[in-house]
Structure 1
Amino acid sequence: MAVELSTNGFQAARGIAALQAITGNLDIAGGAVFLNEAPLSDLQLMPGSGVKQAIGADEYPLFHKVSRNAQANLYARAILEEKPYPLKGLVVAGSNPVLTWPNAGRVREALSRLEFLAVIDPVMTATARQAHLVLPCASFLGGDELWDSSHISLEPRIGLAPRICNDGGLPTHWEIWREIAVRMGHSDSFPWSTEEEAITFRLKALELTYADLRDMPEGYAYHRWTAKKYEKEGFDTDSGKVEIYSDLLKRHGYDPVPTYAEPAESPLSTPDVASLFPLVLTTGARRLEYLHSRFRNVDSLRSRAPEPYVEIHPATAESLGVKDGDMVLVETLRGSIEVRAKRTPSILAGVISMSHGWDEANANVLTDDACLDPVSGFPGGRCLLARIVRR
């Protein structure tokens, strides 16, 4: 499970990186290898092009500076409380917020308050069902996509995953977004008439074209890894060195060294809540068959993992009178869902675990969007208090 999806996630990741540095495991084979992604031309509209400051840029300035993204966990606040400004419309693509964002009840309420909600998706998702407009689009099999192996290979390559099938003739994501950009007056920023031209533009720094990559099924090797590049190039820090103590973090008011803070909701920080909700809930566990909320409409995968369940240690289940396969109600301060119990000795007693992405048992009904990681703004989906009631 992703370490960053907790209220200590950023500092936990820093702690891991610090241990890698202290033990000499930076940029060596078998260690934390530093690889660059392919230098692609950017398609993003820059500030000054009539684009408002990203939501979350004030609250999470370092996250915004590095990622250049808004913090979507604050969208519900922007809609419901108009902070930092009113958010009246939303176009959702490549996402299913109702099932994958924290505090799903609040997300649903926020989406229902929008003056306009459009969803671009090949599937009628839980979010699409709440939209004013659904734009069906081609799946990943129906369009051309670039892939980059820099996260899994010492010889990073960029390649083209070509269109395989699009029997319905549906538009690709790129075609829809280009049409939206043109109609909103941004045609100068999106001058390409075809996706092939746009991909060629993105490959400019590599002196490649769409046609070049199409004829390279193995991809193009754009970088060869060499060990310990930092000995010549240093690090992208104020000092040019590894900084276990970070002046940059300190200047922004964050702990300069990796520091643990008890979650806002836990047996130690909120014993009164723990007296009513005595179990520790972790959500987001992955199933091999699915990716977030995707692929549950694929019969062959659904037959392997037909329904959601909550994992519970046999001793905990015994104390609650819960048998394997019983239907139970899992409750937190945010809401409750009904799901089948699965007894397993592989989980710690007193802890329960659920995977997310299930429409019929949405784990994010239980999660919290109020207490976020102070640096990244990521939610604490791994550290919640809950209780189980036998049905």
Structure 2
Amino acid sequence: FGTALSGTFPYAEVAVFVGKNPWQSHGFQRARPVLREIASDPNRTLIVIDPCRTETAEMADYHLRVRPGTDAFCLAAILGVMVQEDLPDHDYIRDRTQNSREILEVLRQVPVSDYASRAGLTEQMVREVGRRIARSSSVSVYEDLGIEQSLHSTLNSYLEKLLFALTGNIGKPGAMNANPSLVGISNGHLSSKTSPVGGHRIIGGLVPTNVIPDEILTSHPARFRAMLIESANPVHSVADSTRMRDALRALEFVAVIDVAMTETAREAHYVLPACSQYENWEATFFGASIFDQKELRNSFTLRAPILDPLPGTLPEAEIHRRLVRQIGALTDKDVEPLREAASEGRAAFASELARMVSERPQLSEIMPVLLYETLGPSLGAGNEAAAAVWDVVHNFAGKNAEALRCTGFAGPGDKLGEALFDAIFENRSGVVYSASRYEETWNRISSGRVNLTITELIPELKSLQDEYPSSDPEFPFVLSAGQRRSGTANTIIRDPKWRPKDPHGALWMSPVDASELGIQSGSRVRVITKRASAETIVDVSDRMLPGHVALPNGTGLWYPDREGQEFLHGVSPNELTATGHRDWFAGTPFHKHIPARIERLR
């Protein structure tokens, strides 16, 4: 697409969730009320593809309860129905897509009945779902970690997008749309950059997390030697925690910036304590889309601190400034002309900044720090960090002037960006900064056409015909690690006292499996994978298919008791995972499909 598309679920005739449980993980505004509205409307359809009977699946008109790891077969079968029954709009494919011939030919050859069976589904349900999606007036689709962190990860995402790309559900209410955001994640173009040791693809500027230890634990001359880790906990969140700890210990230098003494911070040479979000200027650059049946809008909120920092902590902006200064990337000589210009007004500041960056382009790499030091003081004491948004809004205004003017902002050129910055800084409850018609989505798609064939993924799609789902007798269960539940919150809240309903982070298991193992809710078991083992308790749940078990996210953290003695609370899922268990294309970990064995403990 060349841009990110998201669903407008409140107006969708058909809503499809693939490996996604928005009842718990949300992903769009008013998720629970919107789900109820769709489920209660006889003219609308809710479709869920998920091996687990989630809260969202319980509301669905169609719950395609696939065998774990067979999502690609299910999606290919649905698409096969569409193409083989000639359901796509040929005029749309001709006018709005490109490179359609190869993928359409592959989908014509999909053995629908066979693939449905391999996925544990009936052919009838698959055909009904394919027809319902293809014949509806509007479809919104949402994929999540359930398929992204499972077998055929990248292929799953490709096939999921074909559900709406083949059926013309782009650029209209209730369908998939591109809403301009202040900060874009990626332009969708594949970079040729690779990691220095393993030659792994760098996508969106990111090295795949599962290969990071391999880029360190080697004698290769280009190996990573140091890491600066900010607001991240890779010892807990990256596959194979043991190997990640070994990798950090092998580095010459590790510094961590965080609000807590995390599992990663314990491995660092230096820990720089940061203020919490309540003591800091902060914002998010996603999740603020608002819309009606006529237009898409987007809003942004810059949140000011409401508490004073704790002693010994600093705002991240100040930590960044000190680090940049210490390494010599910014000097008084750089700062003084800009501070003087800022005292004369924003126009003078913008002119001087443009001159300096044209002469020294490397300054653009530290722009947030540069603005914090120079424009920041002009915003008033304690407000300096807000200056980082100034450059962001000017870039947005330069690229999306019409969308900005449609919200009521006026003025030519730089004045448009200045007006937006002032509004964001002064309005602490947020500002609507873009408005556009749904059909303008097509202006944001590269070349105005959808590229239907991703050549690199076609061989994998074809190879599904030779793949039959099976299990290893030594590890007969599929473990989904990091399941989202009502009592989990990633690792945002480390104190286990807030989680009274499930303090141990129980292993969910089907009644069939529990009966065969002679266990019940509350029984202790050992979970064994090819990498390691852990002990936990069981919660018998008919939400799970036989052979499928799950551990929640957000557990396995060290936290002190009242006496200051630290305890490990729950199982850390990544103590059980392996870095090599990942997608061949993007390196995405298969956290939702880990071969495992369960043993009852006496």
Residue 89 of structure 1 contacts residue 116 of structure 1 at CA under 8 Å; is this kept in 2?
yes
- Tell me by how many angstroms 1:148 deviates: 3.6
Query: Is residue 144–residue 161 contact of structure 1 (8 Å, CA) maintained in 2?
Result: yes
Pair 1:131 & 2:310 matched: no
Q: Is the 8 A contact 1:121 1:137 kept in 2?
A: yes
Write the deviation string for residues 109-161 of structure 1: whole angstroms up to 9, x where unpaired: 21222222222111111111222221111111111113345554231012211
Q: Which residue of 2 aligns with 1:176?
A: 319
Q: Output the amino acid matched with 2:424.
A: L
1:20 pairs with 161, 164, 169, which one? 164
Matched position secondary structure for 1:24: coil
Deviation at 1:202, TM superposition (A): 2.7
Query: Could you tell me how far apart the structure 2 residues matched to 1:175 and 1:146 are?
Result: 17
- Indicate whether 1:158 and 2:158 are aligned: no
Matches for 1:87-236 after TM superposition, within 5 Å = 87-148=224-285, 152-154=289-291, 155-169=297-311, 170-187=313-330, 188=363, 189=366, 190-192=369-371, 193=373, 194-205=384-395, 206=397, 207-208=417-418, 212-229=423-440, 233=443, 235-236=445-446
The structure with the greater share of residues assigned to helix is 2
Q: 1:276, CA displacement in angstroms?
A: 0.9
Identical-pair percentage: 24
The correspondence for 1:332, drawn from 529, 533, 542, is 529
Rounded to whole Å, the distance in 1 between the matches of 2:197 and 2:205 is 11
Letter of the 1:244 partner, please give it: L
Residues 173-201 of structure 1, C-alpha deviations (whole Å, 9 max, x = no match): 22212221222222243423142332323
1:347 Cα offset (Å): 0.5
Query: Which residue of 153, 156, 159 corresponds with 1:9?
Result: 153
> Which one of the candidate residues 178, 203, 213 is aligned to 1:34?
178
Q: 2:172 touches 2:439 (CA, 8 Å); kept in 1?
A: yes
How far apart, in 1, do the equivalents of 2:182 and 2:462 lie?
Answer: 35
Alpha carbons 2:386, 2:425 under 8 Å: kept: no
Superposition TM-score, scaled by structure 1 size: 0.83
Aligned residue for 2:170, secondary structure, equals coil
Match of 2:129 in 1: none
SS in 1 for 2:596: strand
CA displacement 1:322-347 (0-9 Å, x = unmatched): 22111111010010111111100110
Q: Could you give the per-residue CA deviations for residues 204-227 of structure 1, whole angstroms, max 9, x where no partner exists? A: 234147653232133222221312
Residues 34-113 of structure 1 correspond to what in structure 2 (within 5 A)? Answer: 34-38=178-182, 58-61=199-202, 63=203, 67-82=204-219, 85-113=222-250
Gap change, CA 1:57 and 1:198, over 3 Å in 2: farther
The Cα offsets for residues 17-45 of structure 1, whole Å up to 9 and x where unpaired, read as: 111122332232222221121158x9xxx
Structure 1 runs not aligned, ≥5 long: 43-51
For residues 289 and 330 of structure 1, do their structure 2 counterparts lie closer, same or farther at Cα, with a shift above 3 Å needed? same
Which amino acid in the other structure matches residue 163 of structure 2?
L
Instruction: Please tell me whether the aligned partners of residues 60 and 376 of structure 1 are also in contact (alpha carbons under 8 angstroms).
Output: yes
Instruction: Quote the offset at 1:97 in angstroms.
Output: 1.0
- 2:179–2:289 CA contact under 8 A, matched in 1: no
Return closer, same or farther for 1:7/1:278 CA change in 2, 3 Å cut-off.
closer
- Number of equivalenced pairs: 362
Tell me which of 347, 369, 388 is aligned to 2:579: 369
Which of residues 427, 451, 467 is equivalent to 1:243?
451
CA distance in 2, matches of 1:150, 1:314: 38
> In the alignment, is the contact (CA less than 8 A) between 1:99 and 1:358 conserved in 2?
no
Quote how far apart the aligned CAs of 1:266 are.
9.7
Alpha-carbon distance in structure 2 between the residues aligned to 1:218 and 1:57: 46
Question: SS of 1:255's equivalent?
Answer: helix
Indicate conservation of the 8 Å contact 1:290/1:296, yes or no.
no
Q: Which amino acid aligns with 1:14?
A: Y
Contact map agreement 1:128 1:134 (CA 8 A) in 2 = yes
Cα distance in 1, alignment partners of residues 493 and 254 from structure 2? 23
Aligned counterpart in structure 2 of residue 384 of structure 1, from 573, 594, 599: 594
Instruction: Pick closer, same or farther for the CA change 1:164–1:355 going to 2, 3 Å.
Output: same
Amino acid in structure 2 at the alignment position of 1:242: V
Distance 1:57 1:213 in 2: 43
- RCO higher in 1 or 2 (8 Å CA, sep ≥ 6)? 1
The separation in 2 between residues aligned to 1:384 and 1:180, in whole angstroms, is 40
Indicate the RMSD between aligned Cα atoms, in angstroms: 2.9
Distance 1:76 1:39, change over 3 A: closer
Mean Cα deviation higher: 168-177 or 12-21 = 168-177
Query: 4+ runs of 1 displaced by more than 6 Å?
Result: none
Give the greater-gyration-radius structure (CA).
2
- Amino acid in the other structure paired with 1:337: A
